[in-house]
């Protein structure tokens, strides 16, 4: 019997490893930026073209590499960070496995120029698809200059699975921001298609919190500064610093939640729950606070080697960290008077009006008693009003027989027994209601074959979606002109999205008069929404486009109408009267596609009489 098992060639093995490490252009950006940070760089530039498909270039002023190190850096599992297995549990750097550069070189055209400050000339290395081409001396600045071109050129299937340029650019910006947030003492810049997106100066303050706050503001926008509440706590197992947003600035969209553990961005649903628990009772349903939390834990208490991208890690004492994070945030919210609290040491004199503060004596108000008042005496009362007539002289004239108003008052009569009870009485037709609400979420109705149960939120989404789509595509949604222009603050990242969909927003009723660096000015909004709903709906629209940027104009309109329907549909827990329930029922089954919401959720289920009888007989 012949043998079947054989070793894979190095180039194939590297391409397989690249599939784990390099999922998209943003993966290359992350690895190269982290390498630059590990090289002790103080200034790092990222240059990208065509969302990373054509070019990804990272230039740093770090310590550089010798000719031998530059060549070894592209070998698999070649690293300067660890020597033994024990070093995996005492890591203080970003990269350590030695897979990134080998994986990148296997699926792209790579050029590296690097020089140390001791050498007169640097080294230039060229590698195409994992095949080493040349290594030679070259004149270059101290540090490293990585150029990655034509990513996935030799794996067309992987290249075809990349999303649109807008989505891939967003992922690159996310990767850039995560590294830039972590190192405020380093200057970063990002240039995409010859346009400067970010230019972040290095922090100049001696305090970490000041530098980090300034970095957060530079990335998220100048309006962020007033929203931030500082967080600080130190224990034996955890040191936590950073910022959270005030509850009043919470947003419907996610995406501004950042955890950094030992200077490494991570994702943790468990620790996110701790933050949300600390905000319990302070946020409206569906809203999320922004936070930028930096956790320092002993390296031996965390395992960061459980995922190729190292964004998911494992803690030894998650429950303790949960409790500390939750209590620290609660304490800061109370300390900065963001959350309601009881202050037993408050000086009561502060409540005294300013004009009375220095008065020595305040006179007691006089109390006057009408000695002649008799509650059982009917004299002096009006039959029609059933209220005691005032005794003041100016009102007595009204009751003189020859006064013109006297006749008018006497002619006003109210027969309480004949007051119509129509508002409270139900006719025979109304008592036979066709529908009723279940748990404020579902609408139940009887049909010939049994019963139907409708999800009111999903059904209303379908109704609004088809109505809005018909109006937008045919004539555009109606708009209401604002008396005063409305300014909506938007982050730098989202301004590009607004510019992309500006025409379709206008068709939907959002008339933008001006687009600024971090805000948009609206002079008209759709007639279907109120002014206070505009911010939340625009944030939802932008967030949906960032996660699913369509290619065609019709898809953009479709996505806008979906977002409007999602934002304006009645929510679960909303009480509906019988007329509203029946209106939803009738309109749903008048839709072209009544079975599902615009997002693929079932709008209703039916149960036949046989199903019901089976439930009772089982």
Cα–Cα dist 302/317, whole Å: 9
User: DSSP H helical segments within 514-595, as ranges?
Assistant: 534-547, 553-568, 578-588
- Residues with pLDDT less than 70, the chain: 1-4, 6, 8, 10-20, 77-98, 304-311, 337-364, 375-433, 475-477, 547-555
Taking the domains of the chain in order of start, what are their residue ranges?
10-200, 208-335, 442-604
Q: What confidence score (pLDDT) does residue 584 get?
A: 93
**Cβ distance 582 to 430 under 8 Å?**
no
Helix runs in 475-576, H state only: 492-500, 502-507, 534-547, 553-568
- How far, rounded to the nearest angstrom, does the alpha carbon of residue 140 sit from its chain's CA centroid? 43
H/E stretch holding 386 reads none
Helix or strand (DSSP H, E) at 111: strand 109-115
Closest to 30 in 3D by CA, of 129, 176, 165: 176
Task: For strands 109-115 and 450-455, give the pairing.
Answer: unpaired
Q: How far apart are CA 568 and CA 159, in angstroms?
A: 38
Is the Cβ–Cβ distance between 559 and 522 less than 8 Å?
A: no
Locate 11 and state its tokens: 């180039």
pLDDT in tens, 280-317: 888 887 788 999 999 999 888 877 654 555 567 778 88
Report the chain's terminal Cα–Cα distance, integer Å. Answer: 59
What confidence score (pLDDT) does residue 360 get?
Answer: 57
What's the CATH class of domain 208-335? alpha beta
Indicate the SS3 state at residue 240: strand
pLDDT tens digit string along 56-98?
999 999 999 999 989 988 887 666 555 555 545 555 565 544 5
CATH of 442-604, one of 3.40.50.720, 3.30.1370.100, 3.30.9.10, 3.40.50.10490: 3.30.1370.100
CATH of 10-200, picked from 3.40.630.30, 3.30.70.100, 3.30.565.10, 3.30.1490.480, is 3.30.565.10
Q: Which of 299, 606, 228, 246 is nearest to 450 (CA)?
A: 606
CA–CA dist 27, 29 (Å, integer): 5
């Amino acid at each position: 019997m012949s043998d079947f098992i054989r070793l894979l060639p190095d180039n194939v093995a590297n391409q397989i490893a690249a599939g784990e490490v390099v999922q998209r252009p943003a993966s290359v950006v992350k690895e190269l930026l982290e390498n630059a940070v590990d090289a002790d760089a103080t200034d790092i530039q990222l240059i990208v073209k065509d969302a990373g498909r054509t070019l990804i270039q990272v230039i740093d002023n770090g310590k550089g590499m010798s000719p031998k190190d530059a060549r070894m850096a592209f070998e698999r599992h070649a690293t300067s960070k660890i020597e033994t297995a024990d070093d995996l549990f005492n890591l203080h750097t970003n990269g350590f496995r030695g897979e990134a550069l080998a994986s990148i070189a296997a699926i792209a055209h790579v050029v590296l120029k690097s020089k140390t400050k001791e050498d007169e000339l640097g080294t230039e290395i060229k590698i195409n698809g994992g095949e080493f081409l040349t290594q030679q001396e070259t004149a270059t600045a101290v540090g490293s200059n990585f150029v990655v071109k034509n990513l996935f050129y030799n794996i067309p299937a992987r290249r075809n699975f990349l999303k649109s340029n807008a989505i891939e650019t967003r992922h690159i910006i996310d990767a850039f921001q995560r590294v830039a947030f972590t190192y405020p003492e380093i200057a970063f810049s990002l240039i995409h298609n010859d346009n400067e997106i970010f230019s972040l100066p290095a922090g100049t303050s001696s305090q970490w919190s000041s530098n980090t706050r300034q970095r957060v503001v530079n990335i998220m926008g100048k309006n962020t500064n007033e929203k931030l509440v500082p967080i600080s706590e130190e224990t034996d197992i955890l040191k936590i610093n950073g910022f959270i947003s005030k509850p009043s600035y919470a947003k419907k969209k996610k995406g501004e939640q950042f955890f950094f553990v030992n200077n490494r961005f991570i994702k943790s649903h468990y620790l996110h729950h701790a933050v949300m628990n600390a905000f319990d009772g302070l946020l409206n349903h569906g809203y999320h606070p922004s936070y930028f939390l930096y956790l320092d834990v002993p390296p031996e208490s965390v395992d960061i080697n459980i995922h190729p991208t190292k964004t998911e890690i494992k803690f030894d004492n998650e429950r303790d960290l949960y409790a500390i994070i939750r209590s620290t945030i609660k304490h800061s919210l109370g300390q900065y008077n963001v959350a309601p609290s009881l202050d037993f040491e408050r000086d009561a004199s502060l409540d005294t009006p300013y004009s009375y503060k220095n008065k020595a004596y305040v006179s007691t108000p006089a109390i006057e008693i009408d000695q002649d008042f008799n509650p059982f005496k009917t004299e002096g009362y009006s039959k029609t009003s059933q209220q005691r007539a005032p005794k003041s002289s100016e009102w007595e004239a009204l009751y003189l027989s020859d006064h013109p108003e006297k006749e008018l008052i006497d002619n006003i009569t109210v027969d309480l027994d004949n007051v119509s009870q129509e508002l409270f009485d139900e006719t025979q037709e109304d008592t036979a209601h066709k529908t009723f609400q279940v748990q404020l979420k579902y609408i139940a109705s009887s049909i010939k074959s049994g019963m139907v149960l409708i999800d009111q939120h999903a059904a209303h989404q379908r109704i609004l979606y088809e109505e809005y789509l018909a109006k937008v595509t045919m004539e555009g949604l109606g708009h209401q002109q604002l008396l005063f222009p409305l300014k909506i603050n938007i982050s730098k990242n989202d301004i590009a999205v607004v510019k992309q969909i500006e025409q379709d927003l206008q068709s939907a009723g959002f008339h933008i008069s001006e687009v600024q660096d971090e805000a948009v000015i609206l002079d008209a909004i759709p007639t279907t929404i109120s002014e206070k709903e505009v911010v939340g709906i625009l944030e939802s629209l932008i967030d949906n486009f960032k996660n699913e940027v369509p290619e065609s104009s019709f898809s953009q309109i479709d996505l806008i109408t979906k977002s409007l329907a999602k934002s304006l549909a009645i929510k679960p827990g909303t009480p509906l009267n019988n007329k509203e329930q029946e209106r939803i029922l009738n309109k749903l089954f008048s839709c072209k596609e009544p079975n599902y919401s615009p997002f693929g959720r079932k709008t209703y289920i039916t149960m036949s009489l046989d199903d019901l009888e089976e439930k009772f007989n089982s």
